[in-house]
Amino acid sequence: MIQRIRQISELQASLQRFSRAGNGATTTWFASAELSQQWIESDALLFEPFDDCLLLFRRDRDFYHVYHVAATAEALSAALATLDSATFDVAITADLIGRGEALGALADLYAERGFAPYKSLIRMSRITQGASADDFVDPEVSVALPADAPAILAFLERLLDRFAEQIPEGKELAEACVRQNVLVLRQGTDLGGILYFENMGQTTILRYWFVDKGFREQGIGARLIKTMFRHCHSGRRILLWVISDNVSAIAKYQRYGFTIEGLTDQVMIKQGGEWKR
């Protein structure tokens, strides 16, 4: 039976009970405690326990993400099979993260249970040498304020693929603005481009870097990313995920010193409706 998660302790207890227990165990649940707490507070997180497997569901706009923690492939397969009779009448996506054959086997398992490959993302990283801060200071690139969050969210929702690119919720974005993790470059009253990054110790995660279609080829993206490099100059690496067939974006990242790591996020989707009660 699918239940709503009301407290972080409830989630932690469930995860520990069903967490990895030997070889053959897999998980797709990588959310931080802070992010989990935000999802719980917005009533977006559900779970269903099975023997040796836990399924978690997160409501996101008009669809759900499914995550699993499973002790064995058989337990996961049995749990996913029950989705055929679930009450969801919307799309469900799963982000399967891994490498090589192990990732392929997991994707095959989801495919056997009615999920189809949707898109894949690859992780890229840029190792910095630390110490030397780029002197580049661009007076037109500013830190977004919390009041800017609704406009930035609308901008992201217009440009991003909601099934594949993990668009943040409004509250998450507003908090990122408070932490000064969102850079904007305005063109008159319009947003020319935005860059959203997160710092975690010596690692920076470049979450979104977009220039509005009407303002491309004007160097806006370069100005934003150079400003970010200045903001995180003391770190050791910068990570990002990019859609694997976005050749031009990958080439652009490579020009800025990012290299492909070999970690893949295979997004699978099960369209809603077919098993609606």
Type of residue numbered 138: D
Among 69, 152, 176, 269, binds another protein (CB under 8 A): 69
What minimum distance in Å lies between the beta carbon of 177 and another protein?
A: 21
Residue 37 engages another protein in binding (rule: CB under 8 A): no
**Is residue 105 close enough to count as binding another protein by CB under 8 A?**
no
Residue 154 binds another protein, judged by CB under 8 A: no
Residue type, 88: F
* Segments in 42-148 forming alpha helices (H): 73-81, 100-112
Binding to another protein by residue 131, rule CB under 8 A?
Answer: no
**Residue 18 is a binding residue for another protein (CB under 8 A):** yes
- What are residue 186's DSSP bridge partners? 191
Strands 237-243, 92-98: pairing is unpaired
Measured from the CB atom, is 25 or 228 closer to another protein?
25
Q: What are the Cα distances from residue 229, in Å, to 26, 61, 218, 249, 254?
A: 35, 32, 19, 18, 15
Q: Please report how close the Cβ of residue 147 comes to another protein at its closest, in angstroms.
A: 29
Q: Are 173 and 119 in contact (CB under 8 A)?
A: no
The minimum distance between CB 14 and another protein, in angstroms, equals: 11
Choices 15-23, 37-45, 138-146, 163-171; region in contact with another protein by CB under 8 A:
15-23
DSSP 245: T
Instruction: Give least dist CB 156 to another protein, A.
Output: 23
HSE at residue 275, side-chain half, CA atoms within 13 A, is 16
Q: Which of 3, 7, 82, 202 binds another protein (CB under 8 A)?
A: 202
Number of residues that bind another protein (CB under 8 A): 27
Pull the structure tokens for residue 200. 């975690």
Give 170 or 262: the residue with its C-beta nearer to another protein.
Answer: 262
Q: Residues 266, 133: contact at Cβ < 8 Å? A: no
Q: Which residues contact 247 (CB under 8 A, 6 or more apart)?
A: none
Q: Tokens 């990012």, residue? A: 258
| CB distance 66 to 56 below 8 Å | yes
The CB-of-188 to another protein minimum distance in angstroms stands at 37
Task: Note whether 233 binds another protein by CB under 8 A.
Answer: no
Considering only residues 59, 230, 237, 252, which one is a binding residue for another protein as defined by CB under 8 A? 237
Cα-based angle 271, 167, 79 (whole degrees, multiple of 5) = 40
The CB-of-200 to another protein minimum distance in angstroms stands at 4
> Is residue 79 close enough to count as binding another protein by CB under 8 A?
no
Q: Which of 5, 11, 14, 25 binds another protein (CB under 8 A)?
A: 25
* Closest CA relative to residue 267, chosen from 152, 126, 111: 111
Q: Which residues bind another protein (CB under 8 A)?
A: 15-23, 25, 27, 30, 32, 69, 97, 127, 199-204, 235-237, 239, 263
